[in-house]
A and B are shown apart, each in its own frame.
Chain A
Amino acid sequence: NSKVIQTPRYLVKGQGQKAKMRCIPEKGHPVVFWYQQNKNNEFKFLINFQNQEVLQQIDMTEKRFSAECPSNSPCSLEIQSSEAGDSALYLCASRRGRDTEVFFGKGTRLTVV
């Protein structure tokens, strides 16, 4: 069973509010992914890290999304000014390395009202 811990499980924000969610990857997993899963169950890759370094990320030129994985602290994904279209399940996943399984957390369900 996955030991990727995501908090909170549910998050409700008003439009324009900041939304922050956290992820503790499995112990010993230096690679962390963030995905957004919309109401149609479609996945959108957001960003991934190896240790504290960003490996890949979508074009966040809107600057509303930011993410970090500091050492000795949970990873986090933050939306500066939430919009209705940001309502989705945000999934964090981790893996030990190249030839290992990717484990997902249960997600944070964000609702922007």
Chain B
Amino acid sequence: QQKVQQSPESLSVPEGGMASLNCTSSDRNFQYFWWYRQHSGEGPKALMSIFSDGDKKEGRFTAHLNKASLHVSLHIRDSQPSDSALYFCAASANYGNEKITFGAGTKLTIKP
């Protein structure tokens, strides 16, 4: 079983709409979470990190973490066609230099 599960596998949202992505960890050691975005032909790029309970907002992106349930979400408001990409949730057990474990990704398509 994957330690980081993402849903949905794919999501289609109209331009200007809200996209909501979900991630749950099955490993209680995971306390640090990131969202990465990967466009076709590129490597992943970190969007946001979130380490504390609650919301974290950066521009059009808002991440929410609930440590008790090990659930983290990403909300993208005013979605743009350039937001179409693969989105990965990633987690690690401590904020050192150990490996980061990735989920299987959500494919987001923004329809013009």
Contacts and interface: CB of A to CB of B under 8 A. Distances in A.
B104 A40 contact: yes
Nearest to B49: A101
Contacts of A107: 43
A69 interface: no
Interface residues of B, number: 21
Contacts of A101: 46, 49
Interface in B94-108: 95-102, 104-105
Interface stretch (A12-20, A41-49, A76-84): A41-49
A48 B98 contact: yes
Interface in B23-76: 34, 38, 41-46, 49
Contacts of B102: 35, 42-43
B45 A2 contact: yes
B41 A106 contact: yes
A40 B104 CA distance: 8
Interface residues of A, number: 27
Interface of B: 34, 38, 41-46, 49, 86, 88, 95-102, 104-105
B43 A106 contact: yes
Nearest to A104: B43
30 contacts: A4-B43, A31-B97, A40-B104, A41-B38, A41-B104, A41-B105, A42-B102, A42-B105, A43-B88, A43-B101, A43-B102, A45-B100, A48-B97, A48-B99, A55-B97, A56-B99, A91-B44, A93-B43, A95-B97, A97-B97, A98-B95, A98-B97, A99-B95, A101-B46, A101-B49, A103-B45, A104-B43, A104-B44, A105-B43, A106-B42
A50 interface: yes
B39 to A, nearest CB: 10
A44 to B, nearest CB: 9
Contacts of B46: 101-103
